[in-house]
A and B are shown apart, each in its own frame.
Chain A
Amino acid sequence: MRANVTSLVSGTLFGAGLALGGMTNPARVRGFLDLFGNWDPTLAFVMGGALVVMAIAWQIVPRMARPVMAETFQLPSKSDLTPRLIGGAALFGVGWGVAGLCPGPGIAALVIEPVSAAIFVVAMLAGMALVRLTEG
Chain B
Amino acid sequence: MAEPRRWYLITYDIRDPKRWRKVYALLKGYGEWLQLSVFRCLLTDRDREQLRWELARRMDPVDTLLVIGLCGGCVERVRAINPGEDWPEEPPPFRVL
A binds B: no
Which residues of chain B have a CB within 8 Å of any CB of chain A?
Answer: none
Which residues of chain A have a CB within 8 Å of any CB of chain B?
Answer: none
